[in-house]
């Protein structure tokens, strides 16, 4: 059990934000397997305050997705705080600040991982948000900008000073992007020296490994991103048979079409590829599914799964 201020999280295995993946249907899927906390993808604070229609759409969620965190990114403390106030009207359980996105587009504008180079700015962003919000505010960080600049302790202290309630750490630098291995010794170091709950993140591929990391490093919980793609059972520890996998895909398709209409079928292809990855004939089925525009066709192809 994990406590973030007044919020109690039963399962310490949480969903990590993944742009283009952790939408409302995927969050519901993860919650069917008792994921501890669901989360949106990164959402632009600028877009929120400008009331951009598409951006505001991304803030929507349903009760089954709780507890849920909404993640925002930006660099201006006042814009971020105004955005957080708008976000709070949607009544999420947490608001998370993105301090780890390595994408050039995000970093060049001074947001995401670029902020790690300016802990003073991080402190003012987080302080302004904490001041304006009544729900707990959290942050997700990397270990630093690059090998020569692993200033994570400065960032952690800046966040603690601002009154943040939890810190999630992806054990890579910005320069590493998603390559190499997450450095869990840094995550352990942060946990040892931090006064707020610390969530470890990076390269967890199974339920057992999640608890190994918690036991080895003492972190309060873990976040799983890529390991949850096509494998929501990573949160519950169940080992699904082929039938359960097909049932989950069927439910996922229904949720996708309810959310996006027919386009949901196309968006579902990448998810199905993940669900069936590793099966003997997955390559052939994946090919077939590329040509289906209906749930019926997809389900027919999945009958061949072996």
- Residues in region 182-201 near ligand FMN by CB under 6 A: 201
Applying CB under 6 A, among 5, 7, 18, 133 the residue interacting with ligand FMN is: 18
* Minimum distance of ligand FMN from residue 44's CB (angstroms): 11
- Pinpoint the alpha helices (H) of the chain: 24-32, 45-49, 53-57, 77-89, 104-108, 119-132, 152-162, 184-193, 207-217, 242-260, 263-276, 282-289, 295-302
Determine if 263 is a binding residue for ligand FMN (CB under 6 A).
no
Coil, helix or strand for 200? strand
Q: Is 101 a catalytic residue?
A: yes
10 Å Cβ neighbour count for 161?
13
Task: Pick the closer one to ligand FMN by CB: 121 or 295.
Answer: 121
- Residues in region 45-64 near ligand FMN by CB under 6 A: none
Determine if 16 is a binding residue for ligand FMN (CB under 6 A).
yes
Q: How far does Cα 205 stand from its chain's mean position?
A: 15
Applying CB under 6 A, among 71, 124, 176, 217 the residue interacting with ligand FMN is: 71
* CB hemisphere CA count around 248 (13 angstroms): 26
Applying CB under 6 A, among 25, 202, 230, 232 the residue interacting with ligand FMN is: 202
Applying CB under 6 A, among 58, 204, 272, 276 the residue interacting with ligand FMN is: 204
Q: How far does Cα 185 stand from its chain's mean position?
A: 21
Applying CB under 6 A, among 23, 33, 41, 123 the residue interacting with ligand FMN is: 41
- How far CA 159 is from CA of 12, 127, 167, 222, 231, in Å, comes to 22, 8, 8, 19, 32
First to last CA, the chain: 37
Q: Which of 30, 35, 101, 107 is catalytic?
A: 101
- Residues in region 85-124 near ligand FMN by CB under 6 A: 98, 100-101
**Residues annotated as catalytic (active site), given as ranges:** 101
Binding residues (CB under 6 A) for ligand FMN: these are: 16-19, 41-42, 71, 98, 100-101, 140, 170, 178, 201-204, 224-227
């Amino acid at each position: 059990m994990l406590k973030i201020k007044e919020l109690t999280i039963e399962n310490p295995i949480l969903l990590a934000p993944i742009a283009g993946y952790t939408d409302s249907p995927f969050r519901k899927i993860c919650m069917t397997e008792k994921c501890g906390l669901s989360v949106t993808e990164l959402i632009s604070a600028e877009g929120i305050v400008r009331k951009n229609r598409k951006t505001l759409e991304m803030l929507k969620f349903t009760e089954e997705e709780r507890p849920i965190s909404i993640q925002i990114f930006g660099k201006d403390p006042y814009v971020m705080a105004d955005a957080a106030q708008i976000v709070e009207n949607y009544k999420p359980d947490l608001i998370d600040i993105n301090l780890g996105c390595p994408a050039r587009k995000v970093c060049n504008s001074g947001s995401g991982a670029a902020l790690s180079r300016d802990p003073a700015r991080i402190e003012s962003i987080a302080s302004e948000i904490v001041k304006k919000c009544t729900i707990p505010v959290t942050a997700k960080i990397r270990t630093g900008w690059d090998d020569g600049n692993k200033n994570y302790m400065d960032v952690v202290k800046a966040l603690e000073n601002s009154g943040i309630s939890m810190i999630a750490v992806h054990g890579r630098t910005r320069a590493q992007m998603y390559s190499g291995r997450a450095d869990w010794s840094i995550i352990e170091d942060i946990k040892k020296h931090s006064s707020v709950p610390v969530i470890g993140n990076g390269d967890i591929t199974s339920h057992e490994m999640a608890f190994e990391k918690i036991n080895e490093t003492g972190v309060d919980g873990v976040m799983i991103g890529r390991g949850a793609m096509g494998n929501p059972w990573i949160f519950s520890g169940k080992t699904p048979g082929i039938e359960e996998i097909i049932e989950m895909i069927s439910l996922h398709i229904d949720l996708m079409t309810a959310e996006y209409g027919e386009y949901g079928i196309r968006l579902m292809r990448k998810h199905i590829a993940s669900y069936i990855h590793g099966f003997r004939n997955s390559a052939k089925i994946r090919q077939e599914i590329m040509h289906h525009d209906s749930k019926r066709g997809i389900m027919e192809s999945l009958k061949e799964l072996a």
